[in-house]
Chain A
Amino acid sequence: EDKVVQSPLSLVVHEGDTVTLNCSYEVTNFRSLLWYKQEKKAPTFLFMLTSSGIEKKSGRLSSILDKKELFSILNITATQTGDSAVYLCAATSYGQNFVFGPGTRLSVLP
């Protein structure tokens, strides 16, 4: 059965800290790994990763995929209170299947 596991499930940090969120997956016919940020309502897209070892970066956020070890990390540097959200990881397959992890709830305190 396909599954995605995220850790930690929740995390509390102070502004300025750097955080690393983890995502491991077991998906048949793996195609890509997606990261989303979910604040109050709909998840919003952050990154799509398909190749191992190539870092994707957007401002203070970056992510990398390891297809051999079947995991991805999302790094956030110099965290701000606006980074507080649930971060979702999803793995897709060539069968058009999307499998989401439970999410990591990040709280950034001022």
Chain B
Amino acid sequence: IAGITQAPTSQILAAGRRMTLRCTQDMRHNAMYWYRQDLGLGLRLIHYSNTAGTTGKGEVPDGYSVSRANTDDFPLTLASAVPSQTSVYFCASRELAEGSDTQYFGPGTRLTVL
């Protein structure tokens, strides 16, 4: 069982290019999340999805889009990358059940936009 996988591990991208970060979980969790982590700012929520077919905006959604076509996959797309999107991106998932707030995180994608 892999848990949550993310791809690529790292990427250097020219400004203006389109990029999709992939996230796949094999735990059949309902909810999935995308965060970015920047020094001194902790983890900030970009988008989330409580179940396949639905998505919602987090704290910092501008410049990003997501889709949730099925339970396992939750890709994050940067339509036109800008240098301020240089960050480490974490995908997470959790089971939406009473008493279960634990999120499981993927290994992260380090993205550099030049």
Q: Do A and B come from one complex?
A: yes
Contacts A42-B105, A45-B104 given; does A88 touch B43 at CB 8 Å: yes
**Inter-chain contacts of B74 with A (CB < 8 A):** none
Query: What bracket does the count of chain B residues touching chain A fall in?
Result: 20 to 34
A98 contacts B105, C-beta separation under 8 Å? no
Least CB separation from B102: chain A residue: A45
B residues sitting closer than 8 Å to A (CB atoms) are 31, 33, 35, 40-45, 48, 50, 90, 96, 99, 101-108
B101 contacts A31, C-beta separation under 8 Å? yes
Contacts A32-B101, A41-B108, A48-B101 given; does A102 touch B42 at CB 8 Å: yes
A residues sitting closer than 8 Å to B (CB atoms) are 4, 9, 31-32, 34, 41-45, 48, 50, 88, 90, 92, 96-103
Majority DSSP secondary structure for residues of A touching B:
strand
B107 contacts A41, C-beta separation under 8 Å? yes
**Inter-chain contacts of B106 with A (CB < 8 A):** 42
> How far apart are the CA atoms of A97 and B33 in the complex, in Å?
10
Contacts A42-B90, A96-B31, A96-B50 given; does A102 touch B107 at CB 8 Å: no
A42 contacts B107, C-beta separation under 8 Å? yes
> What is the CB-to-nearest-CB distance from A56 to chain B, in angstroms, rounded to a whole number?
13
